[in-house]
Chains A and B, each alone.
Chain A
C-alpha cells in the first residue's frame, strides 16, 4: 500500500502540470492570436478617445470597444475595414469605416453623417443586407458604438458632420401629385436602374457596382409588403431624405440640386404606388382612379428644375 504513495504524488504532479499547460496554452496562445490577427491590415489609426452626441447622451469610444468586438467586428473587422471573418460571405459587403462613407444620412451627399444618423442606423438595421436590427441595445451602448466607429477614419478629425437637410411638410397625396411623380421618375431616369415598374430590373441594373466595385442591386419597390422597409427608413420622410441626400457609396445619387421640394414629394407619392402589395394612401387614391395614372401635363411655369450640369454632382459622387 505504501508503495502507491510515490505513484500518487507523481500522478498529482502530472495532473497539475497538465492543467497548468492547458491553461497557459489556452490563455496565451489564442489570446495573442485574437489581439493580433495573422492576416489583414493593421489599424490605420491608433485608438483615440472620440465622442458622439445623441440628444442628451454622450457616447465614448472607450466604452464602445467591448460591444464593437462582441457584435460588429465579425463583419466590419477589428479595424473597421470591412474585413471581418464573415465579410467574404456577405452580399452586400459590410460598411468600411476607414472610408467613412455612409449610406443613411440626413446630410448632403459627400458629407459625414450626424451622430444621430449613425445611431438610427444601428437601431434600425439595413434591410436587404446582413446588418441586423440592433434595437435591444441601450441608448448609451448605441451612442458608445457611434463614438467607437469614428476612430477608424481620420475624416472624423478633419471634418465636421454635414448639416441635416430640412424636410418640408408633406403636401396632400393627390392623383396629380402621383402623376407628376411618374413624370419625374421617367425624366430623371430612375427607371434605368429601378425598372419601369420599380422591380429593380432596369437596363442598367446588372451593371451597377458600389464604390468598392462590388456588384449592387437597385431597390425592388414591387417586392415590398405592408411591413416593408427601405435601407434608410420606412416612412415617406425617409424616402424623401434618401433621394435628396443620395445613398453614398452606391450609384444612387442625390437629387437635391436637381428637383425642388414639392417635386420630391410628388416623386415620393409615385414611388409608393410602385409598392403594389403595400396598403397606402397613394395606392388607395390610385385604386379609386381604377389603377390608371393620368398623363402629367406640365404647367407652363414648369416645376422641373434644369437638369444637372456637367460640373454638378454625379451619381456615386462624393465617395
Chain B
C-alpha cells in the first residue's frame, strides 16, 4: 500500500512537473518570439534610435548617451522641443525584473538537538550557512523624463521596492545650454551625482553587486551615513561640458541628508561634490576618459532632544568628512573596456565613534530610532560636554572598483566586477586593522535578443560573492566572524 502510494505519488509528481515544464517552455518560447513588442522606452522612441545608440548595454551609458544626458536629454538637433512629438507621446518607461534568485549567507542559528531538544536560550547558537532559492521580483521603476521646452527638461523616477512601497528615487528639473553655451547647465532636485561609473545605471542587480561598495563604504561603528556618493542626493548642480562632451565639469551643493526627505537631519549642513573628466581619442583603442572627484561636507553630530529623544531636523555640531578619488574608463578596442574608480575616504573622529546619525532614517524620511539617543538601536548624541574616548582618531580608508566589460556585440555583454575596500586607519586604537575590509566579486552577462527603439529586453545572469571582515555572526567565543554572502540571479530585465 505504501509502495503503491509512493509510486502513485511519483507518477503524479512527474505528471505535474511535465505540465509545468511544458507551461514554462511555452512561456519562454512565447516571450522569446515576442520581437514585435509594442512597448515604448521613453527617449529611444522619441528620437527613433536603438537603445544601443546611447547604452553600451542598457542601462549603462556610452559616450553618446552621456552627451545626450549632459545636454538635458537632447540630441541638440531641431527635434528636441516637445513640438516635434506626437501629441499622444507620453515620456514614460516602466522597468521591472522577474528573476530566479538564490542567496546564501552565514548566520547565527539556535542549536537544536536531533530530536528537537535545546533551542532558543538553552543550547546556545552556532554558525550555519543559510541558503534560500526561488522565484522573485525586483521593484518597479517608473522612469519619466524629457524636454518641456528646448533646453528645459525634467526627470522623475517613482520607484518601489518588491513589496510595492514607493519613494521618489529622482526628481529634478534642468536648464541647459543657458546662453547657448554647453558650459552652463543647472539642475535642481534629487539626482544621481555625476559619477562616471553610474550606480543607478549599473548592469548589476544582486543585493551586494547591484551597488558599488566604494560608493557606500562606511567603517564599522562609524555613524556618518552622509558621504555615500552612490545614493541620489538633494541639491543644486552646475554642469558644463564641451560641445563634443570630451571635457566635463560639475559642482553640486547638496544637503547633508543622504537624499532623505522631510529635513530629518541637520539644520544647516551641506556638502559639495565636484568632478572633472576629460576624454582622449587614442585611435584604434578608442575614446579613453579619466577624471577626478571630490565629495566634502559637514553633517550634524548633536541633535537637540526632548525627553532624551533626538528632535528630527535639529542637528548641529557639524563635523567634516571627505571622499576623493579618480575614475577612468579605458577602452581596449571596440569590444573590451575597463572602468576604474578609486577612493580615499576620511570621516571626523566623532563620526568614527558612532556619532552623526542620531535620527536614524529608514530612507523615506521616517525614523527607526524610537528611544533616547544612545539607547539600543539609536546612535549616540554629541550633547554638550560629550567627550571622545582617549586616542580616538579620524577613520580613513581606500577603496578600489574595477569593472570590466566585454561587448561581444551590441546585444551581448559579459561583465565582471572586483571591489576592494581597505581600512587604513581605524577610529579606535587597538582595533584590528582589517576590521570592515571588503572583497566583492561579481560576474555575469546580459543578452538582448532584439534591438529596437520600442522596447528593451534582456536575459541576464549574474553571480556575486561578498565578504567583509569582522561583521559576520559571532562564534562560540563571542568573536565576530566574517560576513560571507553569495547570490545567484537569472532573469528577464525589461522596460517598455
Contact = CB atoms under 8 A, between A and B. Distances in A.
Contacts of B24: 18, 21
Nearest to B48: A86
Contact of A132 (B17, B49, B62, B407): B49
Interface string A186-222: 0000000000000000000000000000000000000
A29 B457 CA distance: 14
B237 interface: no
Contact of B77 (A21, A30, A57, A127): A127
Most A CB within 10 A of own CB, among B28, B62, B246, B454:
B28
A22 interface: yes
Given A6-B10, A18-B24, A74-B452, A139 B32 contact: no
A25 B100 contact: no
Interface of B: 10, 13, 17, 20-21, 24-25, 28-29, 32-33, 35, 47-50, 52-53, 62-64, 66-67, 75-79, 100, 180, 243-246, 281-284, 286-287, 334-335, 407, 409-411, 447, 449-454, 459, 461, 490
Nearest to A69: B410
- 10 pairs of A and B residues whose beta carbons are closest in the complex: A30-B449, A86-B48, A74-B50, A136-B63, A135-B244, A26-B459, A70-B410, A70-B52, A25-B32, A132-B75
Given A74-B50, A129-B77, A135-B243, A31 B334 contact: no
Interface in A109-154: 125, 127-141
B50 A73 contact: yes
8 contacts: A10-B13, A29-B29, A69-B409, A86-B452, A89-B48, A132-B47, A132-B77, A138-B281
A294 to B, nearest CB: 33
B180 A125 contact: no
Contact of B100 (A19, A73, A130): A19
Contacts of B47: 130, 132
Interface residues of A, number: 51
A75 B47 CA distance: 11
Contacts of A128: 77-78
Contacts of B62: 136
A86 B24 CA distance: 33
Contacts of B335: 66
A156 interface: no
- Looking at chain A's contact residues, the main secondary structure is helix
B10 A74 contact: no
Nearest to B47: A130
B25 A21 contact: yes
Contacts of B67: 136
B17 A10 contact: yes
A21 B180 contact: no
B13 A138 contact: no
A79 B303 CA distance: 67
A89 B100 CA distance: 38
A17 interface: yes
Contact of A22 (B50, B407, B451, B459): B459
B282 A138 contact: yes
Contacts of A34: 411, 449-451
Contact of B451 (A67, A74, A89, A141): A74
B490 A22 contact: yes
A90 B78 contact: no
Contacts of B283: 57, 138-140
Given A6-B10, A69-B410, A90-B48, A74 B450 contact: no
Given A33-B35, A141-B334, 7 more contacts: A21-B24, A73-B50, A85-B453, A127-B78, A132-B47, A136-B245, A138-B286
A29 B32 contact: yes
A29 B449 contact: yes
